[in-house]
C-alpha cells in the first residue's frame, strides 16, 4: 500500500473508510500512539438493582423510620441554642464554639433497610464490579481517542484539501473551455486568460490537466 503522501488527489478522495482507518492507524503506530481495541466498548452497565423504597427521616445527620420520633427530635434540637465547633486559621487543635444561625430541618430520603440491603447486596456488588471494569476500559478508550484526534484531523485535512483542489480543477477546466471560445480557439491566449484569472500554484502541470499538448 502506498504511503499517504504518495497518493494522488483522486486516490485521496476515493479512499474507503477502511483505507482511511488504515492510514490513521499507521500514522498513530509511527507516533507511538496505541491502537483502538478491535471490539467496540459495550454500553455502560445499567443499574438493574431494586431501588430503595423505605422512607427515612434525617435530622442533623441522625436517622429514624418513625415520623413522630423525627418530629420530637426536631423539637428538641430547635428548643434551644445550637453551636458548631470551629478553629482559627489552620490551628486545628484550638477549637471554639460559634452559634448556628440556621434551624435544624427534617429531610426525607429513601434508603435500604438492613434486611433489604442483605437481599440485594450480591446483585449490587456484581453491578459495581462490572461498572468498575467498564469505567477502566472506557477511560483507556477515551485516552487513546484523544491521543489519536490530532492524527485523524491531519489525515482528514489532506483528504479535504485534495477534494478542494479537484473541485477547483474542474472549474478551471470549465472556464478554460469558455476562454477558448473568447480566444477564437487559440489555446495560448486562452491559457493566458486563465493564468490572469487564477492562482495556479499547486497546478504545475496545468496544461496537461486541461488537455493541452505538452
How sure is the predictor about 92, in pLDDT bands with cuts at 50, 70 and 90? confident
pLDDT of 162: 93
pLDDT of 79: 87
> Would you say the pTM of this structure is higher than 0.85?
no
HSE, side-chain direction, 13 A CA sphere, residue 45: 18
Residues 66-89 pLDDT 10s: 999 999 999 988 888 888 889 888
Is 90 or 57 the better-scoring residue by pLDDT? 57
| 147-153 CB contacts, 8 Å cutoff, 24+ apart | 147/28, 147/33, 147/34, 148/24, 148/28, 148/33, 148/36, 151/24, 151/27, 151/28, 151/31, 151/33, 152/24
Residues 169-210 pLDDT 10s: 888 888 888 998 999 999 889 889 988 998 888 777 788 777
How sure is the predictor about 103, in pLDDT bands with cuts at 50, 70 and 90? confident
- Residues contacting residue 37 through CB under 8 Å, at least 6 positions apart: 141
How sure is the predictor about 91, in pLDDT bands with cuts at 50, 70 and 90? confident
Is 98 or 92 the better-scoring residue by pLDDT? 98
In contact, 86 and 75? CB cutoff 8 Å: no
Q: Is the torsion defined by CA of 183, 185, 187, 188 positive or negative?
A: negative
Does residue 214 carry a pLDDT above 60?
no
C-alpha cell at 172: 478551471
Size (the chain), residues: 214
pLDDT of 14: 95
> What would you measure as the largest C-alpha separation in the chain, in angstroms?
106
Domain edges within the chain: 4-43+123-209, 54-111
pLDDT of 213: 65
Amino acid at each position: 500500500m502506498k504511503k499517504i503522501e504518495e497518493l494522488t488527489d483522486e486516490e485521496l478522495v476515493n479512499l474507503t473508510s477502511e483505507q482511511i482507518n488504515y492510514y490513521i492507524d499507521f500514522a498513530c503506530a509511527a507516533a507511538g500512539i496505541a491502537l483502538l481495541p478491535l471490539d467496540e466498548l459495550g454500553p455502560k452497565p445499567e443499574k438493574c438493582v431494586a431501588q430503595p423504597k423505605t422512607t427515612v427521616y434525617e435530622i442533623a445527620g441522625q436517622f429514624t423510620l418513625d415520623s413522630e420520633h423525627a418530629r420530637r427530635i426536631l423539637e428538641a434540637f430547635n428548643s434551644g441554642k445550637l453551636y458548631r465547633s470551629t478553629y482559627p486559621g489552620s490551628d486545628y487543635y484550638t477549637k471554639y464554639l460559634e452559634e448556628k444561625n440556621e434551624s435544624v430541618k427534617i429531610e426525607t430520603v429513601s434508603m435500604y433497610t438492613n434486611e433489604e440491603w442483605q437481599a440485594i447486596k450480591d446483585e449490587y456488588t456484581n453491578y459495581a464490579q462490572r461498572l468498575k471494569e467498564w469505567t477502566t476500559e472506557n477511560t483507556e478508550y477515551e485516552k487513546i481517542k484523544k491521543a489519536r484526534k490530532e492524527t485523524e484531523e491531519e489525515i482528514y485535512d489532506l483528504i479535504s484539501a485534495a477534494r478542494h483542489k479537484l473541485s477547483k480543477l474542474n472549474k478551471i477546466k470549465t472556464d478554460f473551455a469558455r476562454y477558448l471560445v473568447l480566444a477564437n480557439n487559440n489555446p495560448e491566449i486562452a491559457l493566458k486568460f486563465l493564468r490572469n484569472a487564477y492562482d495556479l500554484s499547486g497546478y504545475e502541470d496545468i496544461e496537461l490537466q486541461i488537455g493541452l499538448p505538452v
